[in-house]
Amino acid sequence: MGTLPAEWDAITYDLVAAPMTRMGSVVLDRLPLRGDEVVLDAGCGSGQVTARLAARLPRGRVVALDGSAAMLDLARKALASHDGRVEFVQADLSAPLPPLPPLDAVLSTATFHWVTGHESLFRHLAGAMRPGARLVAQWGGAGNVSHVTNALADVAPDFPGLDGWPGPWWFPTADEVAARLADADFDIDACWLHEEPVCQSSRAALEAYLATPVLVAHLARLDPPDRPRLVSAIADRIPEGVIDYVRVNVVATRR
Ligand SMILES: C[S@@+](CC[C@H](N)C(=O)[O-])C[C@H]1O[C@@H](n2cnc3c(N)ncnc32)[C@H](O)[C@@H]1O
């Protein structure tokens, strides 16, 4: 296993995860299931979408994989009623995967933009999937959170640790994703971008949401006293509290 990605504040994430759960549930609906399959949730987080997946697999199994031990602890609680049908795996999606059961499908929501080894990500997933297995996924695409990325470019010179850092995210175009999938032995059923703005109701809600999940990797690079200063500087530059999500969506089949 490679170096694990940054730890997340899982409890805070779970409290603010409603937009991700809503978007993730739509992605899950794109996955046709009989109910007896083995399905990987790649980047299961605190398990809110994973629990919906498990409910659709009454005779099947879920592999709930995440890099964060704290996220997996919460996911165990969210999935407690599906005990015995869920395997929890701590692993880095940037690295070759640990041994997994042959997968009938892979679901992934709001995760792949955090994966630094995205050049090999789809090859690693393909290696664990049966021929004909479906991949349904959604994550940040080209132009995602541009209010935030523009604000970061503005303020980075004031924050040692951010200046000159390219940032943690991979926000690809649909064409780039389709090319990567084809290289990794997938047939592309559909691959597209869509806009999904999420409005925060107050300045406090916006700052909390920026701190977790949006800026989690940026804040980890700063000294603790600089962290609230960054959140506030970015919040000042977000018009009307709108997180301007652009998502890339994929439905693909392992050859
Ligand atoms: C925004 S959360 C999404 C969680 C969940 N899928 C959802 O929709 O709520 C992103 C998750 O990706 C995980 N993650 C980020 N980079 C990862 C990596 N390289 N390997 C495994 N998990 C990773 C984080 O720990 C976090 O739980």
- pLDDT value for 119: 84
Whole-number Å distance between alpha carbons of 18 and 35: 25
Q: Which of 21, 65, 66, 76 to mutate to test the pocket of ligand 1 (most atoms within 8 A of CB)?
A: 66
- Mean pLDDT taken over the chain: 96
Backbone φ and ψ for 213, nearest 5 degrees, come out as -100, -20
Handedness of CA 76, 79, 82, 88 (dihedral sign): negative
Whole-number Å distance between alpha carbons of 138 and 144: 12
Helix boundaries (H) for the chain: 10-16, 18-28, 48-55, 69-78, 118-128, 146-155, 174-183, 203-209, 216-220, 226-236
Does pLDDT of 251 surpass 90?
Answer: yes
| Residue identifier of the C-alpha nearest atom 15 of ligand 1 | 114
- pLDDT value for 252: 98
Whole-number Å distance between alpha carbons of 68 and 10: 8
**What are the pLDDT digits (tens) for 193-213?**
999 999 999 999 999 999 999
2/35: higher pLDDT: 35
Q: Which of 53, 97, 114 to mutate to test the pocket of ligand 1 (most atoms within 8 A of CB)?
A: 114
pLDDT band with cut points at 50, 70 and 90 for residue 103: very high
**What are the pLDDT digits (tens) for 50-85?**
999 999 999 999 999 999 999 999 999 999 999 899
Does pLDDT of 2 surpass 80?
Answer: no
pLDDT band with cut points at 50, 70 and 90 for residue 117: confident
Whole-number Å distance between alpha carbons of 179 and 193: 15
**CATH number assigned to the domain covering 10-142+168-199+246-254:** 3.40.50.150
106: its two tokens: 């892979």
- pLDDT value for 83: 85
Name residue 145's amino acid.
V
210/118: higher pLDDT: 210
DSSP secondary structure letter of residue 222 = S
- pLDDT value for 80: 97
The residue behind tokens 């919040």 is 235
Partner residues linked to 68 by β-bridges: none
Measured from CB, residues less than 6 Å from any atom of ligand 1 are 5, 8, 17, 20-21, 24, 43-45, 48-49, 66-68, 71, 92-94, 109-111, 114-115, 213
Q: Which atom of ligand 1 is nearest to the CA of 10?
A: 27
- pLDDT value for 4: 64
User: Looking at the whole model, is its pTM more than 0.85?
Assistant: yes
Q: How do the domains of the chain map onto residue ranges? A: 10-142+168-199+246-254
136: its two tokens: 């349904």
pLDDT band with cut points at 50, 70 and 90 for residue 165: very high
Q: Is 20 helix (H, G, I), strand (E, B) or coil?
A: helix
Mean pLDDT within 98-122: 96
